[in-house]
Amino acid sequence: MSLKRLTEVLRNLSWLKRVHIFAFALLSIEIAWNPSDLPTRAFEKFLVFFIFPLLFVKAHGRQLGLSFNRDVVINTISLCIVVLPFYALAGSIPIMRSFYPIGDVPLEFMPFAIHQFYQFFLALGNEVYYRGILCVWIRDIGVKSIFVSPVIYAYRHIGKPSPEFIGSAPADIVFGWFDYKSKSIIPSVVAHWVGMML
């Protein structure tokens, strides 16, 4: 198929189909790249799951999903109240503490701030992909949009501690619900980032 023909085919696709193709492409890049050190992971998330989606929505005259208003603030606070106790509980489970050795994170201000800076981009990238692209971007299909990403999210948690793997799909639905109501991924970005600090 020629490039011109491919361009015509893509132009005739619905927004939903374009989003799914784009999401598959991003996931393929992320699986293939998969760096291990935190700074490179943060850069990868920022590039693949933030910059690429930003360029995609700008090319289509759409929004990334970072709208901010009173409802977003209320839903952000509500989501944090719901999920942060579970993050704190997870942090007390030995298998979780051994997999995520928070004790290795320096408590001095600058090293801790730099670590959380990198963590923010992990949270931002994940939320743009799972709750932005695979939920808020396709909210035109209704509340069903919150059930699009849980299987993929759980798949990406294979190899993680069992409590995290088991809770990944239900957590995805909860995060998706608050973002769906907000028409914004800000609630899940904030809750995810603060939860990672715990």
pTM of the complete model: 0.90
**Helical spans, DSSP H, in the chain:** 3-11, 15-33, 38-46, 52-59, 70-91, 94-99, 109-127, 150-155, 162-182, 186-197
DSSP 132: I
Q: Please, what's the b/e burial string for 170-187 (b: 16 or more CB within 10 A of its CB; e: otherwise)? A: ebbebbbbbbbbbbbbbb
Considering the chain, what percentage of its residues have pLDDT values greater than 90? 79
Condensed to tens digits (0 to 9), the pLDDT of residues 159-190 reads: 999 999 999 999 999 999 999 999 999 999 99
**What's residue 103's pLDDT?**
55
Condensed to tens digits (0 to 9), the pLDDT of residues 26-63 reads: 999 999 998 989 999 999 999 999 999 999 999 999 99
Q: Which two tokens stand for residue 98?
A: 């051994």
Quote the Cα angle for 187-193-127, to 5°: 55
- 103 or 7, higher pLDDT: 7
Integer-rounded Cα radius of gyration of the chain: 17
**What's residue 160's pLDDT?**
92
DSSP 84: H
